[in-house]
Amino acid sequence: MDDKNLAPDADSAQTPKDLPSVPGVYPAHHKMSAAEAAEKEAEREREKIKAQWEAKQAEKKQEERKKAEEARLKAEREALYKDLETLNYELLSLSEYPSDFEIESARRSRLGWFFGLGISVFLFTSSLLNLVHPWVGGIAGGIAFVLWLSHGTGMMQFLPGLSRYPELLAKRRKIKNGVTEYIQQIEAKRGFIHRIYPLVHHNPRLRARKFRRIALMSKEHNLMSNMKTLQDVALYHEYLDECRKAAEEYFRSEREDQMLADLDFDPSVEDLEQELTDNAHDEESAESDQTDQLPEEKSLKTDDNSLKNTDEPAVAPNVTSSTQDDQSGQS
Report the alpha-carbon distance of residue 113 to residue 120 in Å, rounded. 11
Instruction: Show pLDDT as tens, one digit a residue, over the chain (331 residues).
Output: 444 444 444 444 444 455 555 555 555 445 667 887 888 888 888 888 988 899 999 998 989 998 888 888 888 888 999 999 999 999 999 989 999 998 998 888 888 878 888 888 888 888 888 787 888 888 888 888 877 777 655 555 556 667 788 889 999 999 999 999 999 999 988 889 999 999 999 999 999 999 999 999 999 989 988 888 889 999 999 999 999 999 999 989 888 877 877 776 555 555 555 666 666 667 677 666 666 555 555 554 444 454 344 444 444 444 444 444 444 444 3
pTM, rounded to two decimals? 0.59
Four-point Cα dihedral 272, 277, 282, 287, nearest 10: 130
Cα distances (Å, whole numbers) of residue 135 to 111, 139, 244, 245: 26, 6, 68, 69
Q: Taking the CB of residue 197, how many other CB atoms lie within 10 A of it?
A: 19
Contact 226, 266 (CB under 8 A): no
Nearest to 86 by CA among 247, 256, 286: 247
The predicted structure's pLDDT at residue 34: 80
The predicted structure's pLDDT at residue 114: 83
Instruction: Classify the phi-psi angles of 154: left when phi > 0, otherwise alpha if psi is within -120 to 50, otherwise beta.
Output: left
Nearest to 30 by CA among 41, 40, 15, 18: 15
The predicted structure's pLDDT at residue 71: 87
